[in-house]
Chains A and B, each alone.
Chain A
Amino acid sequence: MINNDSAQPSELLQTIAKSITPGDTLFREQLARVTSLLNARHAYLTEVIDPETLRIFASWQDCPRGSTLEYCTLGTPCADVIRDGIRVIDQAIAERYPNDEYIRDFVSYVGCPLVDSSNQTIGHLCVYGDEHIEAPDTAALVVSLFAAQISAELQYKKNQRQLVEHERSLEILLENLPGMVYRCKYDRHWTMFFVSAGCELLSGYPRETFEQGDLGWADIIHSDDRDRVWQEVELALTAGEHFDIQYRILTQSGVEKWVWEQGCGVTKDNDQDEVIEGFITDITPLKVSERALARSEAFSKAIVSTAVDSIITIDAQGRIELLNHSAEALFGYSASEIIGENIRMLMPEPHSKNHDQYMNTYLKTGKAKIIGVGRELTARRKDGSLVPIHLSVSEITLNGSRWFTGIVRDLSEQKAVEEELRRGHERLNVTIEHAPTGIVTYRLGEPFMSANRAFCEMTGYTSSELKRMTVWDLTHPEDRAESAEFAAKVETGKVDRFSHRKRYVRKDGSIIDVGVVNSVTHDSDGRPDLIIGQVEDLTPRLRAEAEAREHREQLAHADRLNTLGEMASGIAHEINQPLTAISLFAQAGKRLFEAGNYQRLEEIFGKLSQQAQRAGAVIERVESMARQQESVRAVVDCNALVEEVAKLAEAEARIHDISIEVETVNELPLAIVDAVQIQQVALNLLRNGMEAMQSVDCRDGNTITLQTKLRGDGDIEVVVIDKGCGVSKEAEKTLFSPFSTTKKSGMGMGLSISRSIITAHGGSLDFHNNNSGGATFLFTLPPATKEKDNG
């Protein structure tokens, strides 16, 4: 199909290059070239009038569609091209489009759309042949190349035409300016001696108005411009020069007009007053047009700069054969200074140096690195600056010679966006990498995909080691069951986010406690995909907690010992009672025995044992309070606990003539607590209350009440209601601070420790003064069923 009879291919391409350089508008030549290249008969160009109508604006040889300029596309291959893009029908065209009467004489057809800068189809290029096309791909390439050039050219011409139209409209405007000639006095009033007939058209006033002195010209000058006009005229006349000013006037009908006045001073021989002569013309349309022009120029520039892709064609030696307008703009060279030069001047090193070799390699081996693929590269502009581009290269072979056409797209903007994205991504990566908590990603059952620095440090493994390990490998064997449970829930989509505490085995074999928060992402089918885990090493926190607990326990123990010390006389009394009874029973028994009266001995032994146990119980209570033991939490009945506390405090209460009333509620839930510590708190509160009641001044009764209650929220409440003098405002502030006390003896640690004990049990300790005198201290404890939540 390539025309072997035509001129040398190199010449041909030269011609093409020339024909599409900017300024050359001979579309007919291009049509001639493309017809000749494809060995076809006819070619023409159209523009779209409406979706079904095309207008032919250039054609080669007789138009196949006769003398018609506009035609309906229905049933023609052109309709398909306009709608769907490039189309090559290599044979039997008439059979395909039986309704198109004009194509019956032809065999083949190639059509390609013409597009504007916003990629809208504005027309098409089509070529009609008498023979079937042997190489449809090449034909398509050639036609599309021409179509691209013509599109760019059309765009350029359109812009040019718009500018030309504006220029022409200005000329016409100036030629037809309305205006008036005048002569006036050189005074601020612009007293007119003479005005021409144009006056009425210009100002709306009849000339007589000014000539008879009814109005001075100054009267109709826009008040904002009046002073400026006078100053400029005065300046020019003083210097003996012409003046040339633009200003606004208000016509008789109140319309604002722009006028242009030129004039000069004329001095009469008889040395009379100076006179001014001049010409005033209406330039309002011009002013409007100026603004319009300013707008349209900016518009044109915008269109030209939003260039279509740059196109450069080189020969097998790398010499530039042709380039389009857009390529000129991109690289900063004009066509004349670059055609014939080696393409490598548009490349930075090392490509510039190696390009010849690239081409040789390809020409010899046919191994293409770029042809037909398209890739991103960097190009060098005339000013030496570099620009990221996308280059796709097509090869054209004509008569055994090879040409390469590159379509170059400026990627600066795209690159800038990509760079911003990449930086954002990098920042995110850096943030994750340096985050203080461990962050990992993985899929269920698969090795870690990523692990940040904190996670590596936590586990002792490097990130590459972790990429060969799964979460399972890290998890402590005893915690694997729970992890498996979670995994199952994730698998079945039951949870999207879960957090738990577990243990990891580090690389060195040591065990750490970690808190894990896992979020699950889903793929497009909604199945769980990635798991993003945030892992916190709890070891330091747990250690601190353990230290705090130990500290609290030591304090609590010290407080208990202190309390016991204070209670010593009461405790002694408590033990003395059964001892006294034992002594009495024993002596009575001895007497009975000596007297040979054995009948009551059995009863006496029973009493002895009973009293001994009673003493033992007191000692046991004291001992448990005095013992320093690791905090042991067990299921405890708070009712029994307060009963025990009441017994412990009973002796002391008796000493102070106070009676302790214990009121418990039935069905109180059990609590999981350290019984000794909770007893200590209850005892502290009870003894504080009793102490408050010893002050005779404010004592209001001698009963102190110890209650258990079940709160509405399910918590257990232990309440101590005393009949003392209540808590004073000053004491309130420091009540729970260590070493604060209103008592004469004691460390003042009691309430502070008590509160810390209750807080550690997940409860709260508080107080209020009673309306009827005295104070109520109470603490809460979560029931055993709730305990889990409090960790």
Chain B
Amino acid sequence: MDRKQTVFIVDDDEGIREGLSLLLETVGQSCELYSSALEFLESYDPNKSGCLILDIRMPRMTGLDLQEKLKEKKSVLPIIFITGHGDIPMAVEAMRRGALDFMRKPFREQDLLDRINEALDSDAGKRKALVDRQQLNDKIASLTERERQVFHRVADGEMNKVIAMDLAISERTVEVHRSQVMKKLKVRTLAQLVRIKMELEVSNLT
């Protein structure tokens, strides 16, 4: 589990903070400890990858409050809530608001470690997807208006002839634009082109 990811632990109970950090230490996972939600917020860095283990009940600012604050900051950091006996309604609320998971105290260490791995993977995946989407957007942005029109029609499976007629350009000109699009989007086959178009449509949906 040796990654450049950090497990952020926010709990007002020192015993639990220490226990968690010691356990993570034994599996070589680096972690940062915070005794309150505010303390964490102050040093929050959105670029740091990892996951957040958050006590749902804390004085001053609760775990749920912190979840809201992070959402406002468009944080993608996956959150695993630590809940106690009788905190089920709060845990449900936390999940509704997008928490990755919750764990009831006391917890089995393997379960915990598994959840943490999942969270870290999730964070890593999300961060990679974000990077890919950005690259794609950049490529699309590099197309000229005419090239973009041609890209969409080609990807929709239209014949060159039909495209030339619709756009009132020569068939030859369509072919030039098409090869230009393939070059800019760094694809060689029509199938690849179609996939990019689909990715775009999916990301537009989300």
Contact = CB atoms under 8 A, between A and B. Distances in A.
A576 interface: yes
B140 interface: no
A572 B85 contact: yes
A576 B22 contact: no
Contacts of A592: 26
Interface string A559-572: 00000000001001
Interface stretch (B102-110, B114-122, B189-197): B102-110
Interface residues of A, number: 29
Given A591-B26, A659-B59, A583 B19 contact: yes
A584 B22 CA distance: 8
A581 B18 CA distance: 8
Interface string A651-688: 00011010100000000000000000000000000000
A610 B86 CA distance: 25
A581 B62 contact: no
Given A581-B16, A654-B59, A587 B85 contact: no
Given A576-B84, A611-B15, A591 B23 contact: yes
Contacts of B19: 580-585, 588, 607
Interface string B38-55: 000000000000000000
Interface in A420-452: none
B21 to A, nearest CB: 9
Interface in A576-598: 576-585, 587-588, 591-592, 595, 597
Nearest to B20: A584
Most A-side CB within 10 Å, residue of B12, B105, B108? B105
B26 A580 contact: no
A604 interface: yes
Contacts of A657: 59-60, 62
A580 B62 contact: no
Q: Is the interface of A mostly helix, strand, loop or mixed?
A: helix
Contact of B15 (A581, A587, A595): A581
Contact of A614 (B15, B23, B25, B59): B15
Contacts of B62: 657
Contacts of A654: 12, 57-59
Contact of B18 (A569, A576, A591, A607): A607
B13 interface: yes
B65 to A, nearest CB: 9
Contacts of A583: 19, 106-109
A703 to B, nearest CB: 10
A573 interface: yes
B18 A580 contact: no
Interface in B3-30: 12-13, 15-16, 18-20, 22-23, 25-27
A614 B18 CA distance: 15
B16 A580 contact: yes
B84 A573 contact: yes
A591 B107 CA distance: 16
A576 B26 contact: no
A588 B85 contact: no
Given A581-B13, A585-B22, A588-B26, A573 B85 contact: yes
Nearest to B62: A657
Nearest to B104: A576
A587 B106 CA distance: 12
Contacts of A569: 85-86
A299 to B, nearest CB: 107
B35 to A, nearest CB: 13
A576 B105 contact: yes
B85 A584 contact: no
B123 to A, nearest CB: 22
Nearest to B23: A588
Contacts of B58: 654
Interface string A591-634: 11001010010001001001100100000000000000000000
B124 to A, nearest CB: 24
Nearest to A581: B15
A584 B59 contact: no
Interface of A: 569, 572-573, 576-585, 587-588, 591-592, 595, 597, 600, 604, 607, 610-611, 614, 654-655, 657, 659
Interface of B: 12-13, 15-16, 18-20, 22-23, 25-27, 57-60, 62, 84-86, 105-109
Given A591-B109, A607-B15, 13 more contacts: A576-B85, A576-B106, A577-B16, A579-B105, A579-B106, A580-B15, A581-B16, A584-B22, A584-B23, A587-B109, A614-B15, A654-B12, A654-B59
Q: What 10 pairs across the A-B complex have the smallest Cβ distances?
A: A584-B19, A581-B15, A587-B109, A580-B106, A580-B105, A591-B26, A588-B22, A569-B86, A583-B106, A588-B23
